[in-house]
């Protein structure tokens, strides 16, 4: 609209423009270029009659307000940047506190990989033209070693047990010890993909056409021509007995000692996987989240579907699973409940320490540590005289005192050890984890069982296995027909097995639904009957040497405790209990049954009527129960604590041995009830004197 044609109106510029210059421009025949105006005032349109001092003052003040607004915005922007800088500095200081407060523990670039040998952190990160390997001490954060390799190659491995770096170069294996600054060379053909066992004593080498096992001491152990894995990682189980890899469109499980393929899972998807010693595979899938498949039962369980992990890592005790996503989000799960117990962010690599106490994470600003003991509430332990023995490489699953006063222990590493004068002697070595151990009354026989082991009867005097007749309930999914792995029956997680009072009979619940009884002297099967309804949901049980079998079942509609006569298989009683028996630990003493259920209560029941006599609330999750000869109940918990309770008395504890671990997995009292033996999840056996309790 042309305002110049309206009567009584004219176009006048702001006061910042010379008015005489503006009038000269209006008199020209050509249209002048409009002057540069401010952001808020482009044209001032007003009547000539209103051009007063007040109007001029308003025009000047509007220009001044515009300049003040610009200055205010500049100041606010500067303050915001300064505050962000202060927050960034505080975050760096916080990261430094988490990384032991030492600048040498920091790194400026992303880490390629990391391991945590005993007492150290070993990490690799790229440089401009090569790789940098650094070694730090966990206790002080001081740098203990450094190595520069002038090549950006992925053909290297970090040892999980020693401060060593293994590099494959020109048909040679070069082993550098960063602590001693020494190196050794061994001949080794070129490899495309390789992995090291958790024990650090075996390598698996993959090429285009073969898969080979290699030991630094014995050289090549075996060679397999039917597998190759060039693109996907090779993952060992925490005990090193098996490893899993992805070959084309399936996951394959191999035995480490001879390279025999024992299982194939035709699954095309999966970005990360982990295998435990009990035959469970954890798989990370972008579409389905995290999956857990039990090979023994065939149960496939999906949990945390929103996860997108690129790396899965099991702790040495197999109680925690660390999942690392592409975005740097870290999640720590409990393997028994599949619940998240910790979350982290900006994490690039992760590793558990060899003792299973710490989870080390390499992120943007350094290496941080998470104590697994911090996941539970700390507590003060009474002062007791205690000592510890280290012999098992995996969690301790059973403890027992023999009549001669010696202590024996079984573990997930498949070994049975005898402890005398602080030293251990290996009695039994099996090729599968031992979940439960029972000793005959005279101390001459051992009954060993497991989900991947079956039932093994071992003669301690002759140091050999005694044969048992077939119960007709075989498990063929896990290494069927391979020596010590060829078992006919298998135990559930309830681990129900025991001897009779005179030691002549052996009773076990096989699979989910078989009750079997053998004659120990001849190995003959005396009784075997399928009870699918009664035993399928068994969550715990106890073999009474006097001839009874108690089985706890957690059902959707309620919980039941069933009493059998294990000689004839006859059901004697069935009691409905107001307890949550999803998981149950049962111990017996005379006419009492003590049941620790999943809801956190320890209940005392009459073994003849099933009547609830007394009950106490446990502050921690119960992992094992044991009864003394005077009726004292000893409770081992998931936090490493030990509690004591007697009927109609208060709960006493917790007591924690000074040399123990995080989890109390097995308990045993000496014949005189003076010394208690506690097995822990890190393979340590602690002994404590009971004179002050």
Q: What is the pLDDT of residues 504-538, one digit of tens each?
A: 888 888 776 778 888 888 888 888 877 766 676 78
Q: Tell me, what DSSP letter sits at residue 364?
A: S
Query: What ranges in 465-569 are assigned the alpha helix state H?
Result: 532-535
Mean per-residue pLDDT, 64-71: 79
Q: Is the pLDDT of residue 45 over 60?
A: no
Q: Give tens-digit pLDDT for 148-187.
A: 888 877 788 999 888 999 998 888 889 999 998 899 988 8
DSSP letters of 456-493? EEEETTTTEEEP----S----SS-TTSGGG--S----T
Mean per-residue pLDDT, 129-150: 86
**Chain centroid to CA 210: how far?**
31
Domain limits, CATH 2.130.10.10, in the chain: 386-689
Q: Is the pLDDT of residue 34 over 60?
A: no
- Which helix (H) or strand (E) segment holds residue 359: the answer is strand 358-363
On whether the CB atoms of residues 487 and 454 are closer than 8 A, the answer is yes
Q: Is the pLDDT of residue 284 over 60?
A: yes
CA separation for the pair 683, 417 (Å, rounded): 11
On whether the CB atoms of residues 21 and 14 are closer than 8 A, the answer is no
CA separation for the pair 112, 123 (Å, rounded): 8
Mean per-residue pLDDT, 9-19: 47
Q: Tell me, what DSSP letter sits at residue 75?
A: H
Mean per-residue pLDDT, 219-237: 76
Q: Check whether the bond before 673 is cis (ω within 30° of 0).
A: no
Among 226-240, 366-380, 465-479, which range has the highest average pLDDT? 226-240
Confidence of residue 5 (pLDDT cuts 50, 70, 90): very low
Sheet arrangement for strand 203-206: 193-196, 203-206, 211-215, 219-224
On whether the CB atoms of residues 191 and 205 are closer than 8 A, the answer is yes
CATH number for region 386-689: 2.130.10.10
Confidence of residue 471 (pLDDT cuts 50, 70, 90): low
Confidence of residue 408 (pLDDT cuts 50, 70, 90): very high
Cβ density class 340-354: b for 16+ within 10 Å, e for less: eebebeebbbbbbbb
Mean per-residue pLDDT, 56-61: 68
Which residues on adjacent β-strands are paired with residue 635? Answer: 625, 643
Mean per-residue pLDDT, 201-216: 82
On whether the CB atoms of residues 683 and 411 are closer than 8 A, the answer is yes
Q: For residue 394, which of 312, 318, 313 has the smallest C-alpha distance? A: 318
Task: Provide the token pair at 171.
Answer: 């048909």
On whether the CB atoms of residues 503 and 545 are closer than 8 A, the answer is no
First to last CA, the chain: 102
Phi and psi angles of residue 349, each rounded to the nearest 5 degrees, phi first:
-140, 160
User: What is the model's pLDDT at position 104?
Assistant: 37
Query: What ranges in 227-269 are assigned the alpha helix state H?
Result: none
Chain mean pLDDT for the chain: 76
Mean per-residue pLDDT, 87-97: 55
- The residue that leads in pLDDT, 369 or 182, is 182
Q: For residue 355, which of 677, 621, 637, 120 has the smallest C-alpha distance? A: 120
């Amino acid at each position: 609209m042309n305002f110049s044609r309206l009567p009584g109106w004219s176009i006048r510029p702001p006061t910042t423009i010379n008015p005489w210059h503006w009038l000269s421009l209006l008199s020209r025949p050509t249209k002048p270029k409009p002057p540069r105006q401010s952001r808020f005032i482009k044209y001032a349109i007003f009547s000539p009659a209103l051009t007063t001092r007040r109007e001029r003052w308003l025009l000047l003040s509007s220009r001044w307000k515009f300049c003040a607004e610009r200055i205010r915005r500049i100041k606010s922007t500067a303050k915001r940047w300064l505050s962000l800088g202060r927050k960034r500095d505080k975050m760096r200081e916080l990261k430094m506190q988490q990384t032991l407060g030492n600048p040498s523990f920091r790194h400026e670039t992303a880490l390629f990989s990391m391991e945590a040998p005993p007492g150290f952190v070993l990490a690799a990160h790229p440089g401009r033209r090569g790789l940098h390997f650094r070694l730090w001490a966990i206790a002080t954060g001081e740098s203990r070693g450094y190595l520069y390799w002038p090549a950006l190659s992925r053909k290297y491995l970090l040892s999980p047990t020693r401060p060593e770096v293994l590099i494959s170069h020109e048909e040679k294996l070069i082993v550098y010890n960063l602590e001693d600054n020494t190196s050794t060379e061994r001949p080794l053909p070129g490899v495309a993909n390789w992995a090291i066992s958790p024990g650090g004593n075996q390598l698996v080498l993959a090429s285009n056409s073969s898969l080979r096992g290699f030991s630094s001491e014995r050289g090549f152990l075996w060679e397999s021509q039917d597998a190759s894995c060039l693109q996907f990682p090779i993952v060992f189980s925490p005990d090193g007995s098996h490893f899993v890899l992805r070959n084309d469109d399936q996951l394959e499980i191999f035995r480490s000692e001879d390279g025999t393929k024992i299982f194939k899972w035709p699954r095309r998807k999966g970005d990360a996987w982990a295998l435990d010693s009990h035959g469970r595979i954890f798989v990370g899938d972008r579409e389905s989240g995290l999956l857990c498949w039990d090979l023994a039962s065939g149960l496939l369980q999906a949990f945390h579907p929103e996860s997108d992990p690129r790396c899965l890592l099991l702790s040495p005790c197999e109680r925690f699973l660390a999942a690392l996503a592409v975005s740097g989000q870290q999640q720590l799960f409990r393997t028994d409940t599949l619940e998240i117990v910790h979350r982290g962010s900006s994490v690039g690599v992760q590793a558990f320490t060899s003792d299973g106490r710490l989870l080390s994470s390499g992120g943007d600003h350094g290496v941080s540590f998470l104590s697994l003991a911090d996941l539970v509430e700390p507590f003060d332990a009474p002062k007791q005289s205690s000592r510890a023995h280290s012999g098992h490489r995996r969690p301790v699953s059973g403890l027992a005192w023999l009549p001669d006063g010696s202590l024996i222990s079984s573990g997930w590493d498949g070994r049975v050890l005898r402890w005398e004068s602080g030293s251990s002697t290996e009695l039994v070595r099996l090729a599968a984890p031992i979940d439960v151990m029972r000793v005959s009354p005279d101390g001459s026989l051992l009954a060993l069982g497991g989900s991947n082991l079956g039932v093994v009867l071992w003669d301690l005097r002759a140091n050999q296995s005694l044969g048992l007749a077939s119960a007709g309930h075989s498990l063929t999914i896990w290494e069927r027909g391979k020596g010590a792995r060829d078992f006919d029956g298998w135990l559930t997680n309830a681990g129900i097995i025991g001897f009779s009072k005179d030691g002549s009979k052996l009773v076990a619940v096989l699979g989910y639904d078989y009750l079997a009884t053998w004659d120990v002297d001849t190995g003959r099967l005396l009784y075997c009957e399928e009870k699918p309804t009664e035993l399928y949901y068994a969550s715990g049980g106890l073999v009474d040497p006097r001839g009874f079998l108690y089985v706890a079942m957690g059902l959707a509609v309620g919980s039941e405790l069933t009493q059998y006569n294990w000689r004839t298989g006859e059901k004697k009683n069935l009691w409905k209990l107001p307890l949550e028996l999803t998981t149950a630990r049962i111990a017996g003493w005379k006419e009492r049954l003590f049941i620790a259920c999943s809801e956190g209560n320890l209940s005392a029941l009459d073994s003849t009527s099933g009547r609830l006599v007394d009950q106490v609330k446990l502050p921690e999750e119960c992992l094992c129960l044991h009864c003394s000869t005077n009726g004292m109940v000893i409770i081992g918990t998931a936090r490493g604590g030990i509690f004591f309770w007697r009927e109609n008395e208060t709960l006493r504890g917790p007591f924690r041995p000074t040399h123990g671990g995080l989890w109390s997995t097995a308990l045993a009292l000496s014949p005189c009830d003076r010394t208690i033996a506690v097995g822990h999840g890190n393979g340590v056996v602690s002994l404590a004197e009971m004179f002050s309790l």
